[in-house]
Chain A
């Protein structure tokens, strides 16, 4: 679509309860037009009360999975989910940082609405989390693994029974998470339906390969035997599009090309570590005889730079950080082996989807959409953009054709043509041809922002901040 094509998006009027605009365009699937799914289906779902297994990875980019086209990694277990369910190719984090993104996954609200605008903050007490919401509806909510709202591995989480874990980074803690989830699935009694969140830390360990590069990434390859197996650098490795100042300041220039390739090699091994743990949990679910009545939702909080735009880690609105896997499967209920590359989906949608299948209403003012019609390949109206927040003052919206980014008070904005330039190499915001597109996207973002029911940011509980506050 060119710039003129976006004129049709002007004057969007929104429905705050659904997160969609009035003039949604009808996006139909293979079955063509038909009745809307969603709320009408609560009655059916109630009779079955499915279990939910929510598997969350940390720092897993959408395209870092073999069945999503990555040639450098082997992920038979995530691929198993892809083959058995629906995978979304346009899935976005609400904020490509751990705590804010996680707050959205468990509340269905944007980070400015949960109070978790940066890492290590608790969810605002007025916002019920998934455990609290499902617990009062007769579910058994169980949490195992990384929480980070604010504590990393707390012994108690409001609304959940916690299977305790912790100790070490992903390499040491994730096997305990998967073994504990396995033990739970194999030994639990058959009373209430469960919501089990298995929250793995990998491939988050990759952060340390930049933080502790001196000891972990030597200048000369430490293992010559893998020289021919190192992944290639991405095509946008050296590209730095014009960006708002705060965004522009983030890049990593401490690696040679060889070091970058070793960094990628390590990242994919860490993805494979997570895949093994996912396999252990899925095996236990199947062996326990509960797979047929369990909806498995697999996602991540954010991706990793992987050398794209010279990035490591996350925090920024480029696709390497903001696009995350979202795969949903359940035999007999959800379409199998379908890749949805058409609909824009978000971490916000996890809660609404679960509520829909459980036959319970979503939390008040939850912004997410139930993915149920997409998962069952039924026709439905769908949203025309998803939003993401970053760096406290940064905002992004993504429409089918474009990505628009702005930072409060910064005159430099960003506009990328995501169809023609998927590697985000050319910032078009000051290209006169796209002036109307920029204008439309500004308006979309402004309208979206005014609809959010924001709360005061909750306190930053990181040790560093607490120490600083004490000194003051």
Chain B
């Protein structure tokens, strides 16, 4: 059994995991599910813990022998604007949740919810014979990705079905944000461990008698929590800083941490 601080990358989200409620309900990584993640930026010049800047919702729907992934992201920006990205990916039920076709839409909304001019984008894509054809209106762009490829969001689905022990690293090309090919990526098993999750911060007060009178001292301590079996996978490759995916025993992705960027499952909204 170990604590968050014992694991590289979990130590950097300790603050944000205070009060995290590990999900206990049944979960089938091969079935239909919906999960929402908080998006956290961990970089802070004042060495603080960072902050939540947005949300990603992933919905999986089984379709035939594959699945459809519906992705909805929202990110808070300057001037109280919100950047929204919506994607629908048709994926195989393989080790990479390989997307075979998809639709991507993005837009920026102002503080009143109106569309900021010239920020709307809609693109579709289809993969065939080791290449992806991305279409925007009349324009088509073909990118070569080989037979093993996937994309950022599909990995949120794929990791839940990976083996819980060492396996030969899966090699692939990452189509970053669904259009930029980044080759030489690997996905591999990192570790399995029982990690204490769900601790809460509590304020403790203590009265101390001094010669000149009594003083009240307060300090923060952690309490509660329970061990949760976690399985971690490394995602390495060109154009990304190392990412570690943390999955529970049911195959549910709880956290993904990559340097200054972290995704933490919103358990209060129901996983």
Contact = CB atoms under 8 A, between A and B. Distances in A.
Interface stretch (A97-105, A244-252, A266-274, A426-434): A266-274
A163 B108 contact: yes
Contacts of A225: 169, 186, 188, 234, 236
A187 interface: yes
A182 interface: yes
A441 to B, nearest CB: 36
A412 B160 CA distance: 61
A176 interface: yes
Given A167-B54, A212-B43, A225-B169, A272 B239 contact: yes
B119 A163 contact: yes
B268 interface: no
A166 B51 CA distance: 13
Interface in A202-247: 205, 208-209, 211-212, 215-216, 218, 222-223, 225-226
A165 B41 CA distance: 15
A361 interface: no
Contacts of B179: 280, 283
A211 B47 contact: yes
A174 B142 CA distance: 23
A225 to B, nearest CB: 7
Contacts, number: 156
Interface residues of B, number: 54
A205 to B, nearest CB: 6
A425 B79 CA distance: 47
A279 interface: yes
B62 interface: no
A166 B77 contact: yes
B239 A172 contact: no
Contacts of A183: 106-107, 118-121
Interface of A, helix, strand, loop or mixed by DSSP: helix
A168 B239 contact: no
B261 A164 contact: no
A276 interface: yes
B176 interface: yes
A287 B137 CA distance: 10
Contact size range, A: 35 or more
Contacts of A205: 43, 241, 259-260
Contacts of A223: 234, 236, 242
A28 interface: no
Contact of A163 (B12, B118, B180, B261): B118
Interface string B47-80: 1000001100000000000000000000111111
B238 interface: yes
Contacts of A179: 83, 85, 106, 121, 177
B108 A164 contact: yes
Contacts of A218: 8
Interface in A249-308: 266, 269-270, 272-273, 275-277, 279-280, 283, 287-288
B49 to A, nearest CB: 10
B76 A270 contact: no
B205 to A, nearest CB: 29
A277 B239 CA distance: 10
A79 interface: no
A175 B238 contact: no
Contact of A273 (B41, B78, B240): B240
B139 interface: yes
Interface of A: 74, 151, 153-156, 162-169, 171-172, 175-176, 179-180, 182-184, 186-188, 205, 208-209, 211-212, 215-216, 218, 222-223, 225-226, 266, 269-270, 272-273, 275-277, 279-280, 283, 287-288
14 contacts: A74-B183, A154-B79, A168-B261, A169-B43, A171-B259, A183-B121, A186-B121, A205-B241, A208-B260, A212-B44, A215-B11, A222-B8, A225-B186, A273-B241
Given A74-B238, A226-B236, A272-B239, 10 more contacts: A74-B239, A154-B79, A155-B78, A155-B80, A164-B78, A167-B78, A171-B258, A180-B119, A269-B239, A280-B177
Q: Which A-B residue pairs are the 10 nearest by beta carbons?
A: A155-B79, A168-B41, A272-B239, A166-B78, A183-B121, A276-B180, A164-B81, A169-B43, A287-B139, A167-B53
